Structure 1
């Protein structure tokens, strides 16, 4: 083997996965077909659960130190959810994808995992022992496992012939990085009476300290072929249709057309090959859920691949990647399709849609509705199906951040191992049977005993008799 795991694609998903593999002590090679890293912002919002996971790895503080990334307010179908802004330890924040990619790539390179660029994949073959990947530049990499993180038009997925069912795009909208003048639009979803609409959210600042905005627009007659170039005049016309002369375009950094295609791979695992991020699921980019979902794919898969490489993974462990992550992305596709419908992105002015949007907007004034939508959009409400989930309200959910006296529990996850919170010091002998896989902490703290997986999810709490089976289920046979 040239490496234990080959990761194809150096976007946020692939870079996060490479970091997780390094943390697990597994050799990884990370390749990308681009000769240089993209300078396009692409996605722009980072949800609470993703920030929490970066914080658990010690990555959030240094990432935030690289730029000006303002806190924003979550929305559903353009309806703001103000009650959710301070609900989680890490509120929604605008961090462009390009900033995350640059930070993670430099972080990995400094730790011996550079991105091998200009590697266009042309062949994938697997056998009982590993996977052979062939590249257009003549290179060949042999690995035990391969992860496809190579985007919505995944070459790996195509070479596998993997099923990718769903709906093709039926319309396009414009997405652009811009500087605007006139009326200050920090975060706005606005619509004209005749159906034209504009969405704006902050992207931080350019090198000169001037505020940048991500702008999306659409409406009647604005769904053009995806290949058609986006012009400055088109964006000016879209702004004028909604804001009149109150807002003007100062600078167009880049623009593209995006579709409302909604597809999801039928299976995330194909033998020794796994699909992650946009290679596994694509949808209209609303709320940056695609980037956040892909990063969470990587966090879920990384420690499990590490366990398989090190030989202690239970037989079922790698299959839990599909079982846990496929339903999450399916739910994201459904909520994005619902948002797209309510937003009437084609500007039809259908009175039934207008009535539905008005009723939905009225419902969002209820705190319970805002909190439900926030749990769904932030990732904090994801609950994985796992043994014991039906018996305890915390099992399957992201772990709470316990105060353990000298430190907080999220810092214990920086080693990439499981964590047993044991405040009464009851389980020392039991935990010692899984050395190097599970760390124990919390003696004397006022916290509920719980077992946390390396990806930050609670996999046991409550009945002490269930702890040993949970350790075996997630961390293999005791040593």
Structure 2
């Protein structure tokens, strides 16, 4: 073996996974077909759940120190969600994808893991013990496992001939990174009576301290073939159509067309090959859910691959990646389709669509609805199907960031190991055979006994049947 895990694709999903494997002590090779990192900001927001996962690895504070990444206001179908609708201790932040990729690349390099660029995958095969990858530049690698994080047009997925069912794109919108002048838009989303609309979100500042923004333009004028280049005059006309002369285009950094294609891989696991991020699911970019869902794929998969490499993974542990993440991806595709309909992306001004939107806007004024929508958009509504989840509401959910004396639970997860909270100091003998994989703590704990997976999800609560839970998630005892 040249490496334990080969990751194809060095975007947010691939880099997050590389860091998880680094934490797990697994040898990793990370390759990308691009000669250098892109400067395009395909996403601009980080959900509460992703922020929690970064905090659990000690990466949140250094990431936020890279710039002015302000707390941001979420939305569902363009309807703003009040700040107090997010009840979680880490609210959304504006962190452009390009910043996340740069941060991870520097962090990984500081720990000896460098992205191998200019590696375009050309061939793939696998057997019972490993995966062989051949690249267009003549390089070849053999790994125990391979993870496809190579985007919506995944070469790995194509080589596997993996099913990728769904709906093709039927319309396009334009997304651009810009500098704007003139009057500040009154709201993130602005609609015109003729079906044209625009969305404007902050992306932080450039090296000269100038404000950058993500501009999205939709409506009848944007229904063009995806391959048609986006011109500066087109962006300027789109701004003028929605805002008149009140908002001016000062600089166009880049622009691209996006379709409403919606697809999801039938299987996330193919033997020793796994699909993650856009290689596993694609949809309209609403609420940066694509980037965040991909990063959550990586947090879910990383520790499981580490367990398999180190030899203690339970028999079916790697299968739980598909079992847990496929429903999570399907839920995102559903809410994106609903938002697309309610937002009238194509600008049809269909009376039935407008009536549905007006009804939805009325419902969205209710605090209970706002809380539910905020949970969905922040990634906190997810609950993994786990044994015992019908017994206790915490099982299958992210662990609350409890304070145990001077230490927070999230800090205990930075080792990448499981954590057992044992407030009565009564489980030491039971947990001892798993002490090489699970850290036990009891000092300062004012909570029920709780077993937490390395990815921060609660997998057991109570005082009985701890051994089956330990064996089910952490393998045979020593």
TM range (shorter): over 0.9
Q: Deviations over 1:328-349 (max 9, x none)?
A: 0001001001101111011111
1:173 equivalent in structure 2: 173
Q: Secondary structure at the match of 1:226?
A: coil
Partner of residue 118, structure 1: 118
User: How many matched pairs?
Assistant: 478
Q: Which residue number corresponds to residue 454 of structure 2?
A: 454
CA contact under 8 A between 2:124 and 2:132: conserved in structure 1? yes
1:303 alignment partner, SS class: helix
Task: Give the deviation of 1:86 after TM superposition.
Answer: 5.1
State the partner residue of 2:91.
Answer: 91
The separation in 2 between residues aligned to 1:336 and 1:444, in whole angstroms, is 42
Conservation of the 8 A alpha-carbon contact between 1:72 and 1:85: no
8 Å Cα contact 2:78-2:189 kept in structure 1: yes
Q: Which runs of 5+ in 1 are unaligned?
A: none
How far apart, CA to CA, are the structure 2 residues paired with 1:413 and 1:407?
11
Q: Distance in 1 between matches of 2:406 and 2:423?
A: 13
Partner SS, residue 433 of structure 1: helix
State whether residues 403 and 447 of structure 1, in contact with CA within 8 Å, keep that contact through their aligned partners in structure 2: no
Q: Whole-Å Cα distance in 1 between the matches of residues 37 and 236 of structure 2? A: 29
For the structure 1 residues 343 and 454, does the alpha-carbon distance in structure 2 shift closer, same or farther, using more than 3 Å as the test? same
Within 1, Cα distance between the matches of 2:346 and 2:84? Answer: 29
Distance 1:223 1:373, change over 3 A: same
**For residues 59-84 of structure 1, what are the alpha-carbon distances to aligned partners after superposition, in whole Å with 9 as ceiling and x for unaligned?**
01001111111211110000011054
d(CA) in 2 for partners of 1:136 and 1:84?
A: 51
1:74 and 1:85 in contact (8 A); partners too: no
**TM-score normalised by the chain length of structure 1:** 0.98
Contact 1:404–1:447 (Cα < 8 Å) also in 2 = no
Deviations along 1:177-214, whole A, 9 cap, x unmatched? 01111112386100011110000111011111111110
Give the unaligned 5+ runs of structure 2.
none
Cα offset for 1:447?
2.0
Displacement after TM superposition at 1:432 (Å) = 1.4
- Residue 104 of structure 2 aligns with which residue? 104
Residue 474 of structure 2 corresponds to 475
Partner of 1:127: 127
Equivalence for 1:318: 318
Distance 2:90 2:423 in 1: 26
Spell out, residue by residue over 1:254-289, the C-alpha distance to the aligned partner (whole angstroms, 9 max, x if none): 000000000000000000000000000000101000
- Deviating more after overlay: 394-403 vs 223-232: 223-232
Paired position in structure 2 for 1:15 = 15
Distance 1:176 1:115 in 2: 27
- Asked if 1 retains the 8 angstrom alpha-carbon contact of 2:86 and 2:371, the reply is no
Give the Cα separation in 2 of the matches to 1:422 and 1:201. 45
The answer for the alignment partner of 1:343 in structure 2 is 343
Distance of aligned partners of 1:330 and 1:123 in 2 relative to their CA distance in 1, 3 Å threshold: same
Q: Distance in 2 between matches of 1:221 and 1:81?
A: 28
SS at match of 1:432: helix
Matches within 5 A, 1:333-372: 333-372=333-372
Match of 2:388 in 1: 388
Pairs within 5 Å for 1:243-254 = 243-254=243-254
- Aligned twin of 2:61: 61
CA contact (8 A) 1:85 1:92 kept: no
Partner of 2:238: 238
What is the aligned partner in structure 2 of residue 284 from structure 1?
284
Distance in structure 1 (CA, Å) of the matches to 2:58 and 2:81: 29
Q: CA deviation at 1:422?
A: 1.0
Counterpart CA distance in 1 for 2:129 and 2:54 is: 33
The 8 Å contact of residues 421 and 445 in structure 2, kept in 1 or not, is answered as no
Give the 3 Å change call, closer, same or farther, for CA 54–444 of structure 1 in structure 2: closer
Cα separation, 2, equivalents of 1:85 and 1:24: 35
Displacement, 1:123? 0.5
**Helix, strand or coil at the partner of 2:70:** coil
Cα RMSD after superposing both structures: 1.0
What SS does the corresponding residue of 2:174 show, helix, strand or coil? strand
- Secondary structure of the structure 2 residue equivalent to 1:38: coil
Shift of 1:85: 5.3
Tell whether the 8 Å contact from 1:195 to 1:349 is kept in structure 2 after alignment. Answer: yes
Report the TM-score when normalising by structure 2.
0.99
Residue 221 of structure 1 aligns to a residue whose secondary structure is helix
> 1:12-56, CA deviations, whole angstroms, 9 ceiling, x for partnerless residues?
000000000011111000000000000111111100000110001
Quickly say closer, same or farther: Cα 1:351–1:10, change in 2 above 3 A: same
Equivalent position of 2:272 in the other structure: 272
Runs of 4 or more consecutive aligned structure 1 residues displaced over 2 Å after TM superposition: 83-86, 442-445
Deviates more, 1:311-320 or 1:225-234: 225-234
Paired position in structure 2 for 1:374: 374
Q: Distance in 2 between matches of 1:372 and 1:125?
A: 44
Q: Distance in 2 between matches of 1:467 and 1:124?
A: 41
- Residues 86, 375 of structure 2: 8 Å contact kept: no
Of the structure 1 ranges 307-316 and 182-191, higher mean CA displacement relative to structure 2 is found in 182-191
2:234 and 2:118 map into 1 onto residues whose CA distance is 34
